[in-house]
Amino acid sequence: MQKDFKNKVVFSAAQPSGVLHLGNYLGAIKQWVELQNKHKCVFSIVDYHAMTVYQEPKKLREKILETAMIYLAAGINPEKSTIFIQSDVSEHTELAWILNTIAKIPELELMTQFKDKAKRFRSKVNVGLFNYPVLMAADILLYKTDFVPVGEDQKQHVELARTLARRFNNLYGDIFVVPQAIIRKEGARIMGLDDPLKKMSKSAKSPANYIALTDEPNLIKEKIKRAVTDSGKEVIYNKEKKPGISNLLEIYSLASGKTIKQLEKEYEGKNYGEFKKDVGEAVVGFLEPFQKDLKKLKENPDKVRKILQSGAEKAKLIAAKTMQEVKKAVGINY
C-alpha cells in the first residue's frame, strides 16, 4: 500500500433486510461517519446480499430507500462520501462471477455466517447464501479498497476478500489492493438484549433482541428495562461472568461518551433497576437527533433517490475502470 494515510479508500455496506439496529449503528455506521472526514469513502446498500434470504419484493423496495435514509440521518454526507445501491452498479455481480472462478468450495464452507444461517433457515438455503462472501469480496475489491470498517462478525468475510485479492494478483497480475478490516474495540459486537451470548441481529426471531433505530423512545426504554441481566447486584464489566450487564455498559458508554470505568464508578452501590433506567435514557438521547433527521428525510424520498442516482454514477466510474482492467488481465477482452 503506497498511498499516504490520508487518502485511503474506505468501503462498507449494510443489507436492506429487516430493521437496522443499534448494533449496526455502533459497530459499523458510527465509524463510517468518522472516517469520511479523512478518507475517500464509498458506502453501499447491498440489496443483492439481502436477497440471499427471501425478501418480500414490496418490502425490499421500501427497505432499500429506508437504509439509504438511515445512512444519511446517521451523518453520512453525500458531498463527502459516495452512497449507492449495489444493484445499480452491475460490475458487482460481474466481478463476483470472475472471483467465483478462483474461490474454493471448502473455503466458503468454513464461513461462520453461512453455517449459522444455513442452520436457522435450513429449508431456505440457496446457492446465493453460500456464495455471499464472494459477492462481498467483489464489492470491496472493485473500489481498490484499503479499509473496510465492519463489526466483528464480518472479519472472516474480509479475510476471504484478502485471500481472493492475493490469489487473483498472483494468477493474473497486480490489479487489486489487499484490503484491511477496521474493527473497533468497543461496539464491534453488541449482544442481543434477550440473549447476551448471541449478537444483536436483524434476523433475530423476537424484536426484544434488538433496539431498532426506528423504535419509539418508550419502546427503547421498555426493551432495555427487560433486557436479560445476570445474577448478582453489581454493575461491573466482566464479559464472561456478567455478559448482560457488560453489554449494557458497552452500549451506555458508546451512547454517552463516558468510559466504562467512569460508569462502573458512578453505579457503585446502585442497583440494576436504576442502571437500566439510565441506559434507556442515554440511548433515547443518543438516537434523538438521528430519529429527527430520519423523519425529515422520510418526507422527502425524492431527494434521497437523487442522492442514490448520483452516487451510483460516481461508483460506476470507478467500478467500470477496475472491471476493464480485470477483463484485460484475465484475457476476455479483445
Give the residues lining the site for ligand LTN (CB under 6 A): 11-15, 46, 49, 136, 139-140, 148, 150, 154, 157
Residue 132's closest CA among 147, 154, 150?
154
Partner residues linked to 276 by β-bridges:
none
Amino acid in position 24: N
Do 53 and 17 meet the contact criterion of CB atoms below 8 Å apart? yes
Q: State in angstroms the smallest separation of the CB of 136 from ligand LTN.
A: 4
- When computed from its CA atoms, the radius of gyration of the chain, rounded to whole angstroms, is 21
Give the binding range for ligand ATP (CB under 6 A) out of 13-21, 164-172, 235-243, 270-278. 13-21
Question: Which of ligand LTN, ligand ATP, none does 27 bind, CB closer than 5 to 8 A by kind?
Answer: ligand ATP
> Residues 192, 247, 41, 154: is their CA dihedral positive or negative?
negative
Amino acid in position 122: R
Question: Which of ligand ATP, ligand LTN, none does 200 bind, CB closer than 5 to 8 A by kind?
Answer: ligand ATP
CB nearer to ligand LTN: pick between 14 and 263: 14
Question: Which of ligand ATP, ligand LTN, none does 11 bind, CB closer than 5 to 8 A by kind?
Answer: ligand LTN
Question: Which of ligand ATP, ligand LTN, none does 248 bind, CB closer than 5 to 8 A by kind?
Answer: none
Q: Which of 40, 63, 117, 276 is catalytic?
A: 117
Q: Which of residues 28-47 bind ligand ATP (CB under 6 A)?
A: 28
CB nearer to ligand LTN: pick between 33 and 249: 33
Amino acid in position 316: K
* Cell 472479519, located at residue: 155
Annotation marks residue 117 as catalytic: yes
Amino acid in position 311: G
* Cell 481498490, located at residue: 144
Q: Which of 202, 298, 327, 328 is catalytic?
A: 202
Q: Does 184 bind ligand ATP (CB under 6 A)?
A: no
Q: Any residues with CB less than 8 A from the CB of 72 and at least 6 apart, and which? A: 78, 83, 293, 297, 304, 307
Distance CA 44, CA 57 (A): 19
Q: How many CB atoms lie within 10 A of CB 152?
A: 16
Question: Which of ligand LTN, ligand ATP, none does 188 bind, CB closer than 5 to 8 A by kind?
Answer: ligand ATP
Which residues form the catalytic set? 117, 199, 202
Residues lying near ligand ATP in the complex (CB under 6 A) are found at 14-15, 18, 23-24, 27-28, 150-151, 153-154, 188-190, 199-203
